[in-house]
Amino acid sequence: MNDTPQIDSGFFSELKRRQVLRPVIVYVIGCWILLQIADITFEPRYLCI
């Protein structure tokens, strides 16, 4: 039962060590912002996305 938290924490610590988390977070936030802008922009013009 104690193996599961070690695997999870090892996975995230490896992602931190390889500096993967920050670019992934920035990418997800950037995509979300672009989708919000597209939703606001294209909705009044009745354009299909």
Could you give the maximum distance between any two Cα atoms of the chain, in Å? 55
**Residue that wins the pLDDT comparison between 48 and 30:** 30
pTM: 0.60
Residue 44 clears pLDDT 50, i.e. is over it: yes
Residue 42 clears pLDDT 50, i.e. is over it: yes
What is the SS3 assignment for 38?
A: helix
- Domain boundaries of the chain, sorted by first residue: 20-49
